[in-house]
Amino acid sequence: MDKIIIRDIKEKDIESVVDIQIGGWRTAYKGIVDDNFLNSMDKNERIEKRKNDYKENGFIVAEIDGKVVGFCRYIDNNNRSPEIRNADCELAAIYVNPELKYKGIGTKLVNYVKEEFRKKGKTKMIIWCLKDNEPSKKFYTKMGGKIINEKKIEIGEKEYDEVCFEYTL
């Protein structure tokens, strides 16, 4: 595998990020999330959303040979999950091009985020994952996470179980 470069997102990366996100959802959540929702994911709508938030801190991409192959969003607070009292930061999203999984891209993204949080003095990171997403749960466990909580979330018009992984930084 060629060298994986981790860097901040640029506006020119938005379309690639959206393609990876939609492809990631349709691959990882097939048989978990309702097919109608997965098939109705609108690329243009998601591009517009990314144009509004890509400049936020904690939005990075993984690149190989000048091509975006994954991305990650992270937050240096715990405002989205106040029920997890010990956590002080969150890995909010991580996606890798489905055709390039198991090549170290996700590992490099997670390790980058952990190091960024350590530099800021953070000690407990969380990430939420659909309970039925076994490959992702296996990855998060391999990366050192432990399931500490569970909740219900709504995707489309249906409810799903989500589990929270915690990492000691």
Between 3.40.630.30, 3.40.50.300, 3.40.50.720, 3.90.79.10, what CATH number should domain 4-168 receive? 3.40.630.30
Domain boundaries along the sequence of the chain: 4-168
- Per-residue pLDDT band for 55 (boundaries 50, 70, 90) equals confident
Percent of the chain with pLDDT over 70: 99
pLDDT digits (tens, 9 = 90+) for 108-133: 999 999 999 999 999 999 999 999 99
CA distance 30 to 162: 16
pLDDT of residue 61: 98
**In the beta sheet, which residues pair with residue 124?**
168
Give the global pTM.
0.93
Q: Is the pLDDT of residue 161 over 70?
A: yes
- Per-residue pLDDT band for 1 (boundaries 50, 70, 90) equals low
